[in-house]
Homo-oligomer: A and B are copies of this chain.
Amino acid sequence: LAEGPSDELRARLRDLHEADMGDLLEALPAEARVRLVETLGADFDFTALTELDETDRVGLLSHLPPLMVAEGIRTLESDDAVYILEDLDADDKAAILAHIPAPERVALQRSLDYPEESAGRRMQTDFIAVPPFWTVGRVLDYVQQTDDLPETFYEVFVVDPAYHLMGAVPLDRLLRTKRSVLVTAVKTERVQVVKASEDQEEVARTFERYNLVSAPVVDDAGRLVGVMTIDDVVDVIQEEADEDLRALAGVGSDEELSDTVAYTAKSRLPWLVVNLGTAFLAASIIDLFAVSIEKMVALAVLMPIVASMGGNAGNQTMTVAVRALATRDLGSHNARRIVLREVLVGLANGLALACLLGLIAALWFGNWQLGGVIACALVINMLAAGLFGILIPLTVHYFRQDPAVASGVFVTTVTDTVGFFAFLGLASLWFHLG
């Protein structure tokens, strides 16, 4: 590769699937990536760039001549082109767009003007729209004779002269209908329409709910401006589930494996600092009972168990709640029932585990009363875990914040403080340690 690829290697690289080319680029060091793309020249399929991590993609593009990037981007589907352009800084973006001819540039610019993570950014602006008075035969002939069509498409849209959407005809239905039939006669009546300004997460939910493969995108005036296809939506679904998972663990949603140590450390630090704050809150509860602990050191040995069990139970409830809120399975219609269920689950498991914990603690320290005290404390904390594990995400969601991001820290704070307070408080009262 260092001395330029041989013809054979070049041919093999050209035949690589975009996903495999993406993997190859990821595996190479940064300079080699630039060299590889430059040597392949026009043979390089820019679609492969959509498979790279954002950092790697932006880095690679900033080292390529804008003219080359512009030419590469022109060969792409409009949604892939926007995906590649959107993360670049304004100067690089302008330099590349300057090399793209006006009609294409305007279409790209219009997509880029929609907010980040909206349907307008993800949609493809090439689509097939026909007037209502066309017959199926005329549509079929049009499709067969027109060169400048989108690379893949699953339906043909029927529009009025102002491009207002009147309906859609799936390709398979088009194929099954007699040529003489008007398209209006076979168009789907109820089309799930996506607004260009709609958030991609909303769009993904619509696709999932109605098992769509493609959906028309309309602007605020109801005019057809593009089409969203399922392959983009699959990426969104994956991204959104990942975001919830990372948010629950306190990891930034944009963290990538290719990020540097410094960037990763910095992005994870804030969450740890917040946790340090809540840990101090728990410590100050313990400090209230310092005298009790001095008199009975077994309390110090056992107290983390009560807090940790509550933390785990709270986390179980919270995770279920966060995902159910994200998928809209949990809402005002069933919130009461689910809150009650979680409290009862907390109580049931609290009682079961309290017997076990109380017995072991009593045997360990040869003190049945201590076993009773820790059993009571555990039941209290498991109840609190069930109650706050569901109420906190519901409350965060009610205030239109993402429950995955903020709930964890609140739930842990509750289970730690309740756990320490219940156990040390009950023990101080029972054994008159105060």
Interface residues of A, Cβ cutoff 8 Å to B: 17, 19, 27, 140, 143-144, 149, 152-154, 170-172, 174-178, 190, 207-213, 230-231, 233-235, 237-238, 241-242, 244-246, 248-251, 255, 257, 261-262, 264-265, 268-269, 271-273, 275-276, 279-280, 282-283, 286-287, 290, 293-294, 297-298, 300-305, 307-309, 312-313, 315-316, 318-320, 323-324, 327, 329-330, 333-334, 338, 341, 344-345, 348-349, 352-353, 356-357, 360, 412, 416, 420
Given contacts A290-B297, A290-B301, contact A176 B234 (CB under 8 A): no
Q: Which residues of B contact A412 (CB under 8 A)?
A: 308
Contacts of A275 in B (CB 8 A): 308-309, 312
Q: B residues within 8 A CB of A212? A: 231
- Asked if B172 contacts A152 (CB within 8 A), the reply is yes
* Contact between chains at B140 and A271 (CB < 8 Å): no
| A319 & B237 in contact (Cβ 8 Å cutoff) | no
Q: Are B334 and A257 in contact (CB under 8 A)?
A: yes
CB distance from A278 to the nearest CB of B (A): 8
> Which residue of B153, B265, B302, B338 contacts A172 across the interface (Cβ within 8 Å)?
B153
Question: Closest Cβ of chain B: how far from A254's Cβ, in Å?
Answer: 12
Give, as a whole number of angstroms, the nearest-CB distance from A357 to chain B.
6
Question: Are B319 and A251 touching (Cβ within 8 A)?
Answer: yes
Contact status B250-A320, CB under 8 Å: no
Q: Are A309 and B250 in contact (CB under 8 A)?
A: no
- Chain B residues whose CB sits within 8 angstroms of the CB of A235 once the complex forms: 208
Residues of B within 8 A of A290 (CB): 297-298, 300-301
Contact A27 B333 (CB under 8 A): yes
Closest to A234 in B: B208
The prevalent SS among residues of A at the interface is: helix
The interface residues of chain B lying within 8 Å CB-to-CB of A301 are 283, 286-287, 290
Query: How far does the alpha carbon of A297 sit from the alpha carbon of B294 in the complex, in Å?
Result: 6
CA distance A307 to B275 in the complex (A): 11
Chain A to chain B: the 7 pairs with minimum beta-carbon distance, closest first? A241-B241, A249-B319, A300-B300, A265-B348, A211-B231, A279-B305, A261-B344
Contacts of A170 in B (CB 8 A): 152
Chain B residues contacting A280 (CB-CB under 8 Å) are 305, 360
A269 touches B305 (CB 8 A): no
In the assembled complex, which residues on chain B have CB atoms less than 8 Å from the CB atom of A250?
312, 315-316
Contact A264 B309 (CB under 8 A): no
Which residues of chain B are near A245, meaning CB under 8 Å? 241, 244-245, 248, 319, 323
**A432 to B294 CA separation, bound complex (whole angstroms):** 18
Task: Name A176's contact: one of B17, B149, B213, B303 (CB within 8 Å).
Answer: B149
Q: A245-B245, A276-B356 are in contact. List 9 more A-B contacts (CB 8 A).
A: A143-B172, A144-B176, A171-B172, A241-B242, A249-B320, A250-B316, A275-B308, A282-B304, A286-B304
16 A-B pairs (CB sep. < 8 Å): A17-B190, A17-B210, A213-B230, A237-B241, A249-B315, A250-B316, A265-B349, A268-B349, A272-B349, A272-B353, A273-B356, A276-B353, A279-B305, A290-B301, A297-B300, A304-B416
A264 CA to B389 CA in the complex, in Å? Answer: 15
A272: which B residues are within 8 A, CB to CB? 309, 312-313, 316, 349, 353
What is the distance, in angstroms, from A211's C-beta to the closest C-beta of chain B?
Answer: 4
**Measured CA separation A280–B353 after assembly (Å):** 13
- Which B residues touch A341, using CB under 8 A? 261, 264
- Asked if B308 and A246 sit within 8 Å, CB to CB, the answer is no
Contact A276 B334 (CB under 8 A): no
**Nearest CB on B from A287, distance (A):** 5
Closest to A274 in B: B312
C-alpha gap A279/B304 in the complex (Å): 7
